[in-house]
Chains A and B, each alone.
Chain A
Amino acid sequence: KQEVTQIPAALSVPEGENLVLNCSFTDSAIYNLQWFRQDPGKGLTSLLLIQSSQREQTSGRLNASLDKSSGRSTLYIAASQPGDSATYLCAVTQAGTALIFGKGTTLSVSS
């Protein structure tokens, strides 16, 4: 059974710092991996989707990488801002099931 783990559970950084969020999964037979952002009390917003054949995806200050063979993905945030404060979740898609989510990393960026 697929399990998705995100470490750390919480992270606090000063504004301007570059940071990396980690996601690992136990079964490498995935179609894709998706990173989401969730603000308190809100739904999830899709940030990046990496297909299983891809190594990375970039959107603005965000860069997500995927190493399917080792079951790992990272989300790199450059020059962090207070507005980046949120919970970040990763999720994988496999055959025959909907997305399986990690529990998220709660990021706090202080000004």
Chain B
Amino acid sequence: SQTIHQWPATLVQPVGSPLSLECTVEGTSNPNLYWYRQAAGRGLQLLFYSVGIGQISSEVPQNLSASRPQDRQFILSSKKLLLSDSGFYLCAWAGTFNNSPLHFGNGTRLTVT
């Protein structure tokens, strides 16, 4: 069966510090991978998605970036965090066909102080 791992679960970082969140998927090949952010009182915002190694699409311009160095690994990064980067970050994967359901990791709660 497929599983998705996301870490860390919680993170407190000062403004201006770097960020690296990692997500890995097991039990499937060539998944579509996604990073979402959920801010308090707001809906889920798609940040990045990837349909293959090295293929990253950005939905929202910001100081975050994403990389996919391996087929089942997706990394969310920032060189300098802003206060507005605080939120709940969720990684997700889906199969490559249009009606594949989306499966989420347990999320990372990021607080920028």
Contact = CB atoms under 8 A, between A and B. Distances in A.
Contacts, number: 53
Interface of B: 6, 32, 34, 42-44, 46, 49, 59, 88, 90, 92, 98-99, 101-107, 109
Interface in A63-111: 89, 91, 93, 95, 97-104
Given A41-B109, A89-B44, A99 B90 contact: no
A1 to B, nearest CB: 12
Nearest to B10: A41
A51 B88 CA distance: 29
A21 to B, nearest CB: 15
Contact of B106 (A32, A36, A42, A102): A42
Contacts of B102: 34, 44, 46, 91, 99
Given A101-B43, A103-B43, A43 B107 contact: yes
Given A103-B43, A104-B43, A46 B49 contact: no
Given A42-B106, A98-B49, 11 more contacts: A32-B99, A42-B107, A43-B106, A44-B102, A46-B103, A49-B101, A89-B43, A91-B102, A97-B46, A98-B59, A102-B43
